């Protein structure tokens, strides 16, 4: 059944009727007449016409003649304004609403006519609201005819976007629950749950949304029953009962009793279940809602069958039979025939059971052949149409001029058809070309950005390489000058001082000045050693003359001290590496060991290097306190690590850092020697 939407101000009279408990014809008439008397006091003709249209909507569920009378009265009251786009659309909407039950086909056409008129007012919010209501009712009629997917398409692609556009939470919530009901009918219960929850959040506490919340609670309960979630079903039904106290004349009251009956049937309370089905039947008869009768009778069948009252159950199914056989849905017939046959079997009427099973089998075959039958009927219809056209042509064949005119028309149609096809092909070709050009432009732009990044990276590496080479040349020069110049001078001074000391010792002079002389010689000796150490660090001679393994081993031994043990291991290293490669690897290890000595507080450091399959592998690990390492190059992580990363990139290698606070740090380097 449709949901009765709120009227204008006159719908406040619903609260007057809240004390009534039954939907009798007399009470409905009294209620409708009281609303008419209220709107008669309105002085503004447009407001009064709007109120009359809303009153016709109320009567459309009970008396279509009276509903049309109010529509005509509203049209006469509007006068020339009835021809305005807005009011023409409204009049078609209310005509469609009145025809909803009486003539669904005419109702669908009227809803579409209303929508086509009102869509010419894209900025009129009230017109958009009526379009939403009209399309929703149109979709509901589609769903009745078995086109559930089309209904969902109308909701999701047209109605809900419009409701979001005008930011109406009540309309949006109402149509979200329509999607939920469609999902429930297609047995997508989990999806239905999500839509019900979203709709409830939008409708909770909203004024004039009682009908929408009632339908939400009732159908939410039905969905919970399908999922065997009786706890949530009870909560929904209790909420629906609370809302019904506010709107006791709701046309959704019978549906509420149907769901209550289903709930109590599942709870094995057959007596309570049947009471609710009886109330639903009374309400459906009051509303003359024939679509609801099969649901009620089938619910009674389920209740009787659960209590093993098979004869009553059989009678209930036979009550459903006229409604199902009057429809074209074969699957409903299939289900009904099977249950009737099963009941005859349970009651021992095997002959009748056999007859119903035969009907069931016949319908089952028809279900599988249904698609083929539709095609055959379609071909037959086409054939009959073609025969009628041939007869018409033969009749008109006596008139040569008409034949020639018809031929010319046909030729024109062919030419126009060919032109349309050609135009469509050209349009498609143009669209495809344009799309490919856009894709190509995007790809070229991406390639340009990537090339720019590569150029910037190469420039960065080139600058760093030049800087490193300059540093190494300068270090080599300074080391050579220190060793050959200042080192030689210090050594010469030391030799002369030693000679003087020896002469004095030979003369056996042991004055205090002699002790100071030896102290100076020792200090000079330490200076020479420190000078050699600095010169070796700047450009180790062992690296140039003895190779990488010996130089790294000397470096590890030199940096070991009490409290820090550095263990070095090398395998399969060549002796013919390029000097630039030797220096870079040496500086990397030197920087890593320096960081470990200064910052790690480690007791043990392991240095390992080897060559395998064209790759040089280097790892430095410690058991120190660790540190937080940032993977992103943009994040600062110290000058030392930055230099190491740059040197590794210069060697076409990859650096991997693994460090955890309190668990030490590991540095793993993989250099492609063929890169």
If asked whether residues 550 and 643 sit together in one domain, one would say yes
Residues of 154-182 as b/e, b for ≥16 C-beta within 10 angstroms? bbeebbbebbeeeebbbbbbbbbbbbbbb
Same domain, 408 and 502: yes
pLDDT of residue 510: 53
Q: What is the pLDDT of residues 611-627, one digit of tens each?
A: 998 899 999 999 998 88
Q: Is residue 127 part of a domain?
A: no
pTM for this model (two decimals): 0.43
Domain boundary among 534, 564, 584: 534
Same domain, 522 and 482: yes
Within a domain: 44: yes
Tokens at residue 86, please?
A: 């807005």
- Scan for tokens 């393994």, then name that residue: 549
Distances (CA, A) of 525 to 34, 350, 466, 490, 555: 121, 123, 37, 8, 22
Residue 22 lies in a domain: no
Give the largest CA-CA distance in the chain: 159
Pair 521, 642 in one domain: no
- State which residues form the domain around 310: 254-325
252 CA to centre of own chain: 34
DSSP 328: -
Continuous segment of H or E residues that includes residue 610: strand 604-612
CATH code of 307's domain: 1.25.40.10
Beta strands in 370-493 (DSSP E): none
Read off the tokens for 626: 């660790």
Kindly state the tokens that stand for 234: 């009870």
Whether residues 425 and 519 share a domain: the answer is yes
Q: Is residue 622 part of a domain?
A: yes
Pair of tokens at residue 622? 């410690």
Structure confidence by residue, pLDDT tens digits, 269-280: 888 988 888 888
- Tell whether 644 and 619 lie within a shared domain: yes
Which residues lie below 8 Å from residue 490, measured CB to CB, with a gap of 6+?
Answer: 524, 527, 528, 531
- CA 625 – CA 665 distance, rounded (Å): 8
Q: What's the CATH code of the domain at 665?
A: 3.30.565.10
566 forms beta bridges with 605
pLDDT attached to residue 109: 92
Distances (CA, A) of 12 to 15, 57, 172, 246: 6, 16, 23, 11
The structural domain count of the chain equals: 4
Same domain, 552 and 664: yes
Tell me what pLDDT residue 505 has: 60
Specify if 615 maps to a domain.
yes
Q: How far apart are CA 427 and CA 424, in angstroms?
A: 5
User: Is 337 domain-assigned?
Assistant: no
- Residues of the chain whose pLDDT is less than 70? 1-25, 290, 324-333, 363-401, 403, 457-458, 460-514, 516, 518, 523-539, 541, 631-639, 675
Bridge-based pairing of strands 565-571 and 653-659 is unpaired
- What was the pLDDT predicted at 667? 94
Is 170 domain-assigned? no
User: How many residues are recorded in the chain?
Assistant: 675
Task: Work out the end-to-end distance of the chain between its first and last CA atoms, rounded to an integer number of angstroms.
Answer: 76
Q: Please report whether residue 34 resides in a domain.
A: yes
Query: 512 and 551 share a domain?
Result: no
User: Tokens representing 132?
Assistant: 């939403």
Cβ atoms of 265 and 299 closer than 8 Å? yes
Same domain, 524 and 557: no
What is the helix, strand, coil percentage profile of the chain, to 5?
A: 75, 5, 20
Same domain, 423 and 497: yes
Based on the domain organization, do 559 and 659 belong to the same domain? yes
The DSSP result for 239-253, as a single string, is HHHHHHTT-TT-TTH
Pseudo-torsion of CA 246, 252, 258, 264, nearest 10°?
-20
Instruction: Tell me the two tokens of residue 266.
Output: 């599942």
- CA of residue 247 relative to chain centroid, distance: 38
The domain boundary, picked from 284, 304, 325, lies at: 325
Separation of alpha carbons 260 and 279, rounded Å: 10
- Give me Rg for the CA atoms of the chain: 47
Q: How far apart are CA 264 and CA 289, in angstroms?
A: 23
Looking at 490, 506, 534, the residue that finishes a domain is 534
554 and 510 both lie in a single domain = no
């Amino acid at each position: 059944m449709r949901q009765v939407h709120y009227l204008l101000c006159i719908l406040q009279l619903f609260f007057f009727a809240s004390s009534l408990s039954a939907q009798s014809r007399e009470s409905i008439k009294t209620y409708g007449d009281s609303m008419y008397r209220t709107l008669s006091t309105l002085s503004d003709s447009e407001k009064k016409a709007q109120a009359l249209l809303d009153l016709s909507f109320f009567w459309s569920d009970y008396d279509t003649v009276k509903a049309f009378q109010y529509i005509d009265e509203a049209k006469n009251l509007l006068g020339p304004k009835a021809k305005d786009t807005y009011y023409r659309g409204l009049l078609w909407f209310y005509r469609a609403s009145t025809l909803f039950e009486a003539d669904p086909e005419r109702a669908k056409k009227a809803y579409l006519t209303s929508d086509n008129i009102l869509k010419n007012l894209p900025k009129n919010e009230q017109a958009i609201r009526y379009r939403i209501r009209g399309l929703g009712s149109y979709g509901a009629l589609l769903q009745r005819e078995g086109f559930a997917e089309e209904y969902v398409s109308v909701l999701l692609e047209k109605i809900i976007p419009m409701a979001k556009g005008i930011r109406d939470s009540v309309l949006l919530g109402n149509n979200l629950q329509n999607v939920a009901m469609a999902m429930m009918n297609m047995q997508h219960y989990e999806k239905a749950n999500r839509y019900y929850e979203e709709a409830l959040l939008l409708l909770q506490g909203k004024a004039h949304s009682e009908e929408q919340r009632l339908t939400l609670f009732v159908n939410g309960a039905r969905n919970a029953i399908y999922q065997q979630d009786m706890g949530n079903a009870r909560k929904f039904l209790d909420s629906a009962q609370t809302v019904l106290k506010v709107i006791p004349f709701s046309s959704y009251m019978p549906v509420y009793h149907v769901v209550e009956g289903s709930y109590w049937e599942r709870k094995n309370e057959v007596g309570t279940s049947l009471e609710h089905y009886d109330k639903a039947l009374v309400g459906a008869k009051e509303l003359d809602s024939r679509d609801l009768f099969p649901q009620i009778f089938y619910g009674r069948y389920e209740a009787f069958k659960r209590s093993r009252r098979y004869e009553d159950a059989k009678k209930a199914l036979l009550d459903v039979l006229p409604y199902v056989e009057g429809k074209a849905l074969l699957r409903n017939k299939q289900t009904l025939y099977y249950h009737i046959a099963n009941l005859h079997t349970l009651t021992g009427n095997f002959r009748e059971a056999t007859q119903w099973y035969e009907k069931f089998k016949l319908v089952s075959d028809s279900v599988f052949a249904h698609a083929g039958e539709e095609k055959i009927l379609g071909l037959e219809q086409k054939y009959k149409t073609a025969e009628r056209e041939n007869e018409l042509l033969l009749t008109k064949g006596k008139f040569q001029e008409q034949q020639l005119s018809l031929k010319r028309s046909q030729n024109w149609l062919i030419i126009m058809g060919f032109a349309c096809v050609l135009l469509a092909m050209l349009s498609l070709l143009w669209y495809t070309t344009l799309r490919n050009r856009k894709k190509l432009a995007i790809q070229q732009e991406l390639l340009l950005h990537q090339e720019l990044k590569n150029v910037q990276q190469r420039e960065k590496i080139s600058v760093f390489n030049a800087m490193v080479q300059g540093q190494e040349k300068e270090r080599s020069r300074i080391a050579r000058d220190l060793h050959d110049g200042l080192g030689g001078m210090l050594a010469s001074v030391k030799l002369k001082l030693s000679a003087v000391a020896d002469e004095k010792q030979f003369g056996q002079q042991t004055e205090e000045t002699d002790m100071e002389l030896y102290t100076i010689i020792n200090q000079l000796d330490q200076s020479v050693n420190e000078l050699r150490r600095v010169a070796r660090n700047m450009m180790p001679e062992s690296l140039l003359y003895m190779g990488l393994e010996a130089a790294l081993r000397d470096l590890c031994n030199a940096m070991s001290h009490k409290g820090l043990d550095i263990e070095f291991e090398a395998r399969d290293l060549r002796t013919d590496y390029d000097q630039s490669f030797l220096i870079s690897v040496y500086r990397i290890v030197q920087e890593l060991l320096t960081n470990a000595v200064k910052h790690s507080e480690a007791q043990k450091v392991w240095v390992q290097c080897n060559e395998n399959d064209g790759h040089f592998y280097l790892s430095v690990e410690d058991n120190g306190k660790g540190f937080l390492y940032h993977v992103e190059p943009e994040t600062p992580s110290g000058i030392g690590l930055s230099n190491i990363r740059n040197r590794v990139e210069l060697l076409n290698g990859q650096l991997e850092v693994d460090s955890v606070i309190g668990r030490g740090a590991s540095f793993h380097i993989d250099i492609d020697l063929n890169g």
